[in-house]
Structure 1
Amino acid sequence: MLDRWLSVLQKNRLIAVIRCNNLELGKKQAHAMAKAGVKLIEVTGNSYQPLELISTLRDELPSCYIGAGTILSHDFLTNAIASGIQFCFTPHFDPDLLALAHYHNIPMIPGALSPTEIITAFNYGAKTVKVFPIQSVGGVTYLKNILAPLPHIPLIPTGGVNISNAVDYIKAGAIAIGLASDLFPTDLIMEDNWQEITNRTKKLLENLEKLQ
């Protein structure tokens, strides 16, 4: 997977981030995304029983790539690997975690914000770097400013990316984008309207595909 990661991202620009407080909700979120055509699904480490959810989704959604996010420790990463993750995200950069993931042929996308952090993570071998939290430092404008001197580093902005501005981030040069809560509006979840959640995401994918 490590050697194919960039090509996977170039074909699948959207990473759906699931953060849930129960397993059933997480499963519904993931299946709604898969039904829309999303192939990259991340389960955050601070979700309810994330390892069990990851393992379940690997079985139930074989056409999707299932990853883990919010990885903060060696132990959690080890357990996530055992659960079957195919990629992983951290909110920070830890060279030891990066080395462990890559040893198991699993792409790790470390979080970084400043030019120094981004360059350091990339020079340690990260195939892609997560720019987080992007909205707090200027959003699309910040991404453009970072990529001006660093066009060779594939960046994935998260933290403030939503359906309304997702296309702008790809136009600005992001290799992919991570969306979380905006994919799952509270009112639609309360109404159990998963079809509309799927429809909204499918429309976003169609708009992203126009940029290919």
Structure 2
Amino acid sequence: METWLKELQKKRAIAVIRASEFELGLHLAKSVATGGMQFIEITWNSDRAAETIARLRQEMPDCSIGTGTILSLSELRDAIAAGAQFIFSPHVEPALIRAANDAGIPVIPGALSPTEIVTAWQAGATCVKVFPIQAVGGASYLKALQGPLGKIPLIPTGGVTLDNARSFLNAGAVAVGLSSQLFPSSLVAAKDWDAIAQLATTATRYCSIEQGKKP
């Protein structure tokens, strides 16, 4: 799990895919991977999420394929069985965190307040997802958390865009979760996978610690 976190801290961006159709999920994942994104989350409420994860693990071995929106132990077990390499949940549930740790899978529960964040960390979270970040002040809120909670790796999601991602990273985030910004509805409707790949390339260059500058 330490190796996973170190790699994430280099790339600093996770593509979050919530697909209503199985084939669409595959296309979106392959597009962002073509654009250079290594960390890809297939939300568990996507169409045929387990099958999508298993297929992507087979076809994209250089990527880290995980899942999110995990709400129960049974979903966690099914996701791990499908091959999920990391787990996001929208809430803090110590039993979920323990089960993921027992399986050796990085787990990132969702929290918002300092109390929730510390509770998640003390329960064994690999990182903590701060969600919905934009609703509570965005990067300024994340920066305020760094004083007392600077040792806890935080991943803001919910309102993160290509324009504000750098501000979150500068405020101390170890990575950001990008969703709708990578998949504009117009490009998805047009099946313009090349354009989506280009957006992923932009995100990768913008967020990666090796690049550090917006193109």
If the length of structure 2 is used for normalisation, what is the TM-score? 0.95
Deviations 1:75-125, CA, capped at 9 Å, x for gaps: 111011100111010000000000111111000001000000001111111
Q: Secondary structure at the match of 1:183?
A: coil
- Aligned position for 1:192: 191
Residue of structure 2 in register with 1:127 after alignment: 126
Tell me which residue corresponds to 1:42: 41
**Which residue matches 1:169?**
168
- Percent of pairs identical after alignment? 49
Provide the rounded CA distance (Å) in 2 between the counterparts of 1:157 and 1:207.
16
List structure 1 segments (4+ residues) > 4 angstroms apart after TM superposition: none
Contact 2:11/2:207 (<8 A) preserved? no
Larger RCO, structure (CA 8 Å, separation 6 or more): 2
Unaligned runs of 5+ in 1: none
Query: Deviation of residue 206 (structure 1)?
Result: 1.1
Cα-Cα RMSD: 1.1
**Residues 51-78 of structure 1: CA deviation (Å, up to 9, x unaligned):** 1111111111111000010000111110
What are structure 2's unaligned runs of at least 5 residues?
A: none
Distance in 1 separating the partners of 2:59 and 2:72: 27
CA deviation string 1:27-71 (max 9, x = no partner): 010000100111100010111111111111111111100001000
Specify the alignment match of 2:74 in structure 1: 75
What is residue 86 of structure 1 aligned with on the other side?
85
Instruction: Give the TM-score, by structure 1 length.
Output: 0.96
Q: Which amino acid aligns with 1:162?
A: T
The equivalent residue for 2:212 is 211
Q: 2:17 touches 2:43 (CA, 8 Å); kept in 1?
A: yes
CA offsets 1:121-158 (integer angstroms, 9 cap, x no match): 11111121000110111111111111122111110000
Q: Supply the distance in 2 between the matched residues of 1:19 and 1:101 (Cα, whole angstroms).
A: 22
